[in-house]
């Protein structure tokens, strides 16, 4: 379900994500069905955790994942970050509209950099991220160029091989995760072997748990910190 409203000169669209209305504009990524696979699996993990779980949503976009986690787990504390000022503005607007300001902190900056001074080391139960995962060449000159007609390049461009941000997340999440904490990532169809190799090479995670979409493609992975 989606509908359009007008706020000043900015057209807003409301998209349903895991039962929650999330407002987006052309300046941020519109939540997709495959990200519900990530969010749904993350919510199930929260059910197995104790009270007051601590979560981080990196590359938060419109804030859909952070909001879904905080809504599902009323005692959860969530930190959401994005390098895009438009994404941060959109997330803050959604968080305020849903009265979640006291439990979701929205920070602007590169990946985990905004959290470095927040005393979160070795304390996080769950990190989730839907980072850009389309290669630059496919996005600018190939079959995915049409995506840039209505949404920003930074929401899609994952570097030369489409996994540049995934590499960073796998390397930079462990200092924040507690022992036994989970890292959950969305990735593109056919990238599972690369993601699996990165997780194994890090030597920081147990055997990953994969989640497939309706077409049987692996699109989401969760890995537990050793």
The answer as to whether 7 is a domain residue is no
Q: Which domain holds residue 168?
A: 33-224
How far is CA 58 from each of CA 10, 63, 78, 140, 144, rounded to the nearest angstrom? 25, 10, 11, 24, 23
198-215 exposure pattern, b = at least 16 Cβ within 10 A, e = fewer: bbeebebbeebeebeeee
Q: Which tens digits make up the pLDDT trace of 159-190?
A: 666 799 999 999 999 999 999 999 999 999 99
Which pair of tokens denotes residue 115? Answer: 């959290």
Q: Considering the entire predicted model, what is its pTM? A: 0.89
- Total structural domains within the chain: 1
The answer as to whether 138 is a domain residue is yes
- For residue 71, the domain's CATH number is 3.40.50.150
pLDDT at position 96, please?
Answer: 98
Mean pLDDT of all residues in 95-119:
96
The answer as to whether 22 is a domain residue is no
Confidence band (pLDDT; 50, 70, 90) for 153? low
The answer as to whether 217 is a domain residue is yes
The answer as to whether 3 is a domain residue is no
Task: Report the distance separating Cα 194 and Cα 226, nearest Å.
Answer: 20
From 8-12, 76-80, 147-151, 179-183, the region with the lowest mean pLDDT: 8-12
pLDDT at position 139, please?
Answer: 59
């Amino acid at each position: 379900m989606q509908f359009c409203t007008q706020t000043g000169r900015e057209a807003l669209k409301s998209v349903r994500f895991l039962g929650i209305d999330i407002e987006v504009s052309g300046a941020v990524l519109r939540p997709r069905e495959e990200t519900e696979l990530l969010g749904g699996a993350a919510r199930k993990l929260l059910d197995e955790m104790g009270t007051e779980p601590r979560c981080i949503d990196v590359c938060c976009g419109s804030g859909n994942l952070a909001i879904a986690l905080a809504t599902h787990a009323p005692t959860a504390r969530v930190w959401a970050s994005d390098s895009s000022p438009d994404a941060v503005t959109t997330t803050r607007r959604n968080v305020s509209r849903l009265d979640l300001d006291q439990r979701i902190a929205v920070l602007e900056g590169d990946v985990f950099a905004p959290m470095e001074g927040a005393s979160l080391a070795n304390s996080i139960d769950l990190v989730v991220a839907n980072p850009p995962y389309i290669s630059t060449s496919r996005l600018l000159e190939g079959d995915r160029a049409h995506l840039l007609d209505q949404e920003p390049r930074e929401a899609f461009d994952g570097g030369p091989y489409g996994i540049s941000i995934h590499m960073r997340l796998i390397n930079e999440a462990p200092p924040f995760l507690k022992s036994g904490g989970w890292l959950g990532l969305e990735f593109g169809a056919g990238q599972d072997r690369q993601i699996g190799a990165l997780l194994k090479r890090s030597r920081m995670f147990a055997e990953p748990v994969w989640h497939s979409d309706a077409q049987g493609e692996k699109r989401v992975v969760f890995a537990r910190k050793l």
